[in-house]
Amino acid sequence: MSNVYYILFALFDLQCLLVMLRAMIHLYGRHTSYNVQKVLWLLDEIGLPYQHSNLGGTFGGLDTDTFGQLNPHRRVPVLTDGPTTVWESHAIIRYLAATYSPAGLWPVEARERAIADQWMEWATNSLMPAFGRLFWGYYRTPETQRNHAAIEATIKELTVLYRTLDDQLDGRAFLVGDALTMADIPAGTSLYRYFEMGLTVERPANVWRWYESLRMRPAYQERVMDPFEELYGRLAY
Ligand SMILES: N[C@@H](CCC(=O)N[C@@H](CS)C(=O)NCC(=O)O)C(=O)O
């Protein structure tokens, strides 16, 4: 083969490489953020290649013009996929599941997707506000500044919420059915910190069985079971 062909092939390979690099998924957000962990877990479950930049918290970087163009709210996670930019963790989860895991993590059937959606909305509107109050009020607040009455009240609130989740998991391996879907990601991510932050909390049987099954998944181990001691008693991001 003449040198001209070698050069043409090399240029073709280079072109493919550039296209792949341009199209590469990039996730921005510190691995210590619960909301970022949801996306990291999902990306690994799907098995997608991606780049990851730790931004926010002690890593900084949210105040730059470049980041402001990605997310005007200056919060993580943010995901870029070629020309597409998405912020808000659940919007990212839906985007990735629909694009890269149809009929897998994204339930294609409308009825099943509605069930997935309702548990994701519930996580946003009910579970996460209470969980966030507990994590910040107990774990992130220095011991001398804690409001114990508020912590107790929030544990009671969460006990009721996790019992509701327990009912949904009765007779089901996962929130929608027999297989992991996007619905499991938000509430499932909360379990590691909820059960491991050092508080005595109720362990509803079905939730605990679900948690143990999630703990067996390599992606959950790698991305969600991420030690978080560095956040203890630290109110600053
Ligand atoms: N509802 C948003 C919450 C985004 C958010 O508040 N992210 C936090 C981390 S969990 C953040 O960016 N904090 C600033 C920082 O980490 O410096 C989502 O689900 O993506």
Separation of 88 CA from ligand 1 center, angstroms?
A: 8
Is residue 105 within 8 A of residue 97, CB to CB? The reply is yes
Region of poorest pLDDT, from 4-18, 77-91, 96-110, 132-146: 4-18
Average pLDDT over residues 46-58: 97
DSSP 191: H
* Summary mean pLDDT of the chain: 93
d(CA 183, CA 191): 14
pLDDT for res 237: 86
Positive or negative, the CA dihedral 84, 121, 176, 197 is: positive
User: How do residues 204-213 score in pLDDT, each as one tens digit?
Assistant: 999 999 999 9
Q: Whose CA is nearest to atom 19 of ligand 1?
A: 89
Average pLDDT over residues 137-164: 98
pLDDT for res 18: 43
Size (the chain), residues: 237
178 in helix, strand or coil?
coil
Confidence of residue 2 (pLDDT cuts 50, 70, 90): low
Tell me how far apart the terminal alpha carbons of the chain are, to the nearest angstrom. Answer: 60
Separation of 76 CA from ligand 1 center, angstroms?
A: 5
pLDDT for res 201: 98
Average pLDDT over residues 211-225: 98
Residue to mutate, 38, 76, 182, 189, ligand 1, most ligand atoms under 8 Å from C-beta: 76
d(CA 215, CA 230): 22
pLDDT for res 193: 98
Residue 159 has pLDDT above 80, yes or no: yes
DSSP 198: S
* Ligand 1 atom index nearest CA of 77: 20
The CA distances from residue 10 to 13, 15, 21, in Å, are 5, 9, 16
Domains parsed from the chain with CATH numbers? 22-100 (3.40.30.10), 110-231 (1.20.1050.10)
DSSP 85: E
pLDDT for res 22: 47
Residue to mutate, 28, 30, 35, ligand 1, most ligand atoms under 8 Å from C-beta: 35
Q: Is 181 touching ligand 1 by the criterion CB < 6 Å?
A: no
Q: Is 237 touching ligand 1 by the criterion CB < 6 Å?
A: yes
Average pLDDT over residues 195-223: 98
Q: Is 37 touching ligand 1 by the criterion CB < 6 Å?
A: no
Quote the percentage of the chain above a pLDDT of 90: 89
